[in-house]
Amino acid sequence: MNIVEQKNEQKSKEEIIAQLSKLSLLEISETQHDSLMNDLASILKYVQRLQKIDTEGVIPTHHGTIEEMVIRPDAIQRSSHAKALISNVPEQNEGQIKVKGVFGNGA
């Protein structure tokens, strides 16, 4: 039994995929459900082998370096990239990025 099945015995595969696709903001077509569920289950089963390792008292590592990170001075830097950046945006209006409404019915 892998982690998915263990923790979600009461949930159907469809419910798990629906929950994860919602968290992931991913539209998953019904034809992809089964293969994705199988893939996720086998990946989670594979990584479950870590459970046997005793990490009592071990400090987690979240960075690739132990050096203190150096933050650059908070100074204004001129940039002339605005046009090039905006040119990649799907929808724009007079140099501004157009977005759907985020309040009310739009959200």
- Minimum gap (Å) between residue 7 Cβ and other proteins: 7
Query: Based on CB atoms, which residue is closest to other proteins, 12 or 87?
Result: 87
- Minimum gap (Å) between residue 49 Cβ and other proteins: 5
Q: Tell me the C-alpha distance between 45 and 77, whole Å.
A: 48
Q: Integer distance in angstroms from the first to the last C-alpha of the chain?
A: 39
Q: Tell me the C-alpha distance between 89 and 77, whole Å.
A: 23
**CB burial of residue 17 (10 Å; 0-12, 13-18, 19+):** buried
Does the footprint of other proteins cover residue 34 (CB under 8 A)? no
Residues that bind other proteins (CB under 8 A): 3-4, 7, 20-21, 23-29, 32, 36, 39-40, 42-44, 46-51, 53, 55, 58-65, 67, 69-72, 81, 84-85, 87-91, 97, 99-102, 105-107
